[in-house]
Amino acid sequence: ACIGEKLDERESGRTDEVNARQLAAIREHVEDWSQIVVAHEPVWAIGTGKVATPEKPGDYESVRAWLAKNVSQDAARDTRILYGGSVTDKNAGDLIQRPDVDGFLVGGASLKDAFTEIEERATITSNEVSSLLRELFQRWSNLSYLTRPFAQSACDVILII
């Protein structure tokens, strides 16, 4: 499931409201939340070169609080949240160290040579997350995906959106 706000929504402090509205729309179609990964991809970061700061890529505590209130405590605890806002080789190491970032949704950078650097930075700091993501993605036979030939990486699988 992909959620994300526009720049004016972020700047006016409405990110939580937008995420809640989008999660509510998703909830109507989900029976088993153990099969869901939430990817936060800010619309304002797509192809703009603007990147969230590593200190605050997204407010995932509010996403988990929404899940706890509207789905279950298990969903709040277990749902993996990926960050997808212009992840690059320059910011991946800092972003993956955030306790609320479980991995990445890598777009255009996956087609560049620097992707291997993103993979290496994610591997060094997040082998457990990579294993969990690989397991989840293997369950999703109905999604289109591209598997990169790297072992032990949080970015082994890239969703094609």
Contact 84, 40 (CB under 8 A): yes
CB 15 within 8 A of CB 5: yes
Query: And the tokens for 58?
Result: 């997204």
Rounded Cα gap, residues 124 and 112, in angstroms: 20
Q: Which of 9, 41, 119, 128 is catalytic?
A: 41
- Taking the C-alpha atoms of 65, 71, 75 and 81 in order, what is their torsion angle to the nearest 10 degrees? -60
Got the DSSP string for 18-35? HHHHHHHHHHTT-S-GGG
Can you state the angle between helices 115-125 and 127-139, rounded to 10 degrees?
110
Known catalytic membership, residue 41: yes
| Active site (catalytic) residues | 41
